[in-house]
Structure 1
Amino acid sequence: MTLQTVILAAGMGSRLGRSLPKPLTELSDGRSIMQQQHDNIRAAFGTVARITTVVGYRAETIVEAFPDVDYVYNDRYDQTNTSKSLLRALTKTGRAGVLWMNGDVVFDPRILGRAIGLIEREQSFVTVNTAKVSDEEVKYTVTPDGFVSQLSKTVDGGIGEAVGINFIAARDKRAFMRQLSRVDDQDYFERGLELAIAEDGLRLRPMDISDLYAVEVDFAEDLERANLFV
């Protein structure tokens, strides 16, 4: 069975101060961030993974660098956030569950290996790091039985941070898409997950990867930290 994977790469990434889209930023091993993501996907899932990339800002540079994957164009990339980019991609991936990631995350390939069991069981999950809880990051809390109850940057008492690698199971996809269509243009996709939890009973499992590395590259210091791992 084909595994649908989505990379969100439509944004301008202006905080990093580069002219190219952030996923094309070169790492110390010579690969781009997106190439590292492709390599990790192929290492975990092989050829059964179908990669769809959401592009916007300077889309042609990404398409030229990776011509052999599918693309969805967000023509409102400068007016919308990840919620709307993800919604466009989910619409193009049929009824199957979808693994998706932010296009600026440099991560340990073992993360996807750890996710295989949850994907095979069709268990929706969000990847989390419990080693730190920063105010500016997306945080989460859990219910007594261990599922995510709150997920946003404004969570009080968060027990960890969301990493930016997630999976929505086929049975949960329609409700999630409906919530993504409702949220504001500037909302992150986590708002859609939070609404699906509250209103549709979505059972979202946190997958802890605190012992592995995952760095969301927003600033130059993040890139320096990511380069320590690759």
Structure 2
Amino acid sequence: MTPQVVILAAGMGSRLGRTLPKPLTELSDGRTIMQQQFDNIHRAFGPRTSVTIVVGYKLEHIVEAFPDANFVYNEQYDQTNTSKSLLRALNASGTGGVLWMNGDVVFDPRVLERVARTIAEDRSFVTVNTATVSDEEVKYRTSAEGFISELSKTVVGGLGEAVGINYISSSDKAQLIRQLGKVDDQDYFERGIELAIEASGLLVEPIDISDLYAVEVDFAEDLDRANLFV
């Protein structure tokens, strides 16, 4: 199954201190973060996989670097967070589920190979790392049945961290769109997932990728760590 893929890349990424959008940060192997993502997507799902990029800050640089992609514009990129970027992308998507990722995640190509079966079965999921639980990251807890019950930076007693690579099924997408429309402009998309779980009983599986690398690049030290893998 070839999924619809979305990369969230509208933000300014000011914490890394670069002049270009953060997804265009160069890695030690000469690729940018986003090129590494594209390579992983094409390896897992084929070179013709449709990728939509949500752009905002200095969008012309991303458009120039990836002219064959589809684009959704978040004109309020400096006033909103990932919840509203994802909302725009889901509203613009076609029939079917959507795989999405943050545009600053450098990750092992095998991550997408691991989740391919769950995508083919059209089941909603978030990828997680149970090896670390940092206060600064989005953490999660699960219900007795093993589905996500809490998903935010304020979770107490988290089982691990959300990696930033997720899938919403075709049957669950409308619920998530509805809740993303309700969250505050500065909320992360994880808040929309939490509300959909609370309001509609959305079932979201955690898929453990702790044995594979996935680094969200926020600071210079994150970039150094990502460069150890590529």
Common fold: TM-score over 0.5: yes
Moved >2 Å (runs of 4+): none
Preserved CA contact (<8 Å) 2:4 2:98: yes
Residue pairs, 1:103-118, within 5 angstroms: 103-118=103-118
Q: Distance in 2 between matches of 1:31 and 1:72?
A: 23
Equivalent in the alignment of 1:31? 31
Equivalent in the alignment of 1:10? 10
Give the deviation of 1:48 after TM superposition: 4.9
Preserved CA contact (<8 Å) 1:131 1:160: yes
The unaligned stretches of length 5 or more in structure 1 are none
Preserved CA contact (<8 Å) 2:140 2:159: yes
AA paired with 2:37?
Q
Deviations 1:128-179 (A, max 9, x none): 0000000010000001111000000001110000000000000000000000
Give the deviation of 1:47 after TM superposition: 3.5
Q: Distance in 2 between matches of 1:183 and 1:107?
A: 28
AA paired with 1:188?
Y
Preserved CA contact (<8 Å) 1:95 1:173: no
- Aligned-residue Cα RMSD (Å) equals 0.8
Equivalent in the alignment of 1:121? 121
Q: Distance in 1 between matches of 2:197 and 2:203?
A: 7
Preserved CA contact (<8 Å) 1:176 1:193: yes
Aligned pairs, number: 230
Q: Is the counterpart of residue 166 in structure 1 residue 166 in structure 2?
A: yes
Preserved CA contact (<8 Å) 2:3 2:119: no
What is the percentage of aligned positions where both structures have the same residue? 72
Residue pairs, 1:66-215, within 5 angstroms: 66-215=66-215
AA paired with 2:9?
A
Give the deviation of 1:96 after TM superposition: 1.1
Give the deviation of 1:65 after TM superposition: 0.5
Preserved CA contact (<8 Å) 1:3 1:48: no
The unaligned stretches of length 5 or more in structure 2 are none
AA paired with 1:95?
T
Give the deviation of 1:95 after TM superposition: 2.5
Give the deviation of 1:94 after TM superposition: 2.0
